[in-house]
Amino acid sequence: MAEFKLGRIRFVWKDNWTSSTVYYKDDVIRNGGNTYVCINGHTSSSDFPTDALTYWNKTSDGQEWKSDWNVNTYYKENDVVKYGGNL
């Protein structure tokens, strides 16, 4: 008789993408304001844009509020910051 892992039959929310994490097919993560679904199991590298080319499909666009712009902060695509009177 076949065995089924019920947690793998549907998408599994993993919250924010983090480096050095094992991800399985159908895991769903957030990076910036966007959500992605894992298409190939892997251990994440230290660079999401590199991993995204091979392991992730974007499922939705979004935005993430980051507060006031700061020269020393790394921002991701679709991050929203305030700079003077502009967003």
pLDDT in tens, 42-69: 999 999 999 999 999 999 988 888 889 9
Q: Which residue has the tokens 């844009």?
A: 49
Dist CA 12 CA 24 (whole Å): 9
Structure pTM?
Answer: 0.73
pLDDT-derived band of residue 7, with 50, 70 and 90 as boundaries?
A: low
Whether the per-residue pLDDT at 4 is higher than 70: the answer is no
End-to-end CA distance of the chain: 58
37 close to 56: Cβ distance less than 8 angstroms: yes
Buried b (16+ CB within 10 A) or exposed e, 41-58: ebebeeebeebeeebbee
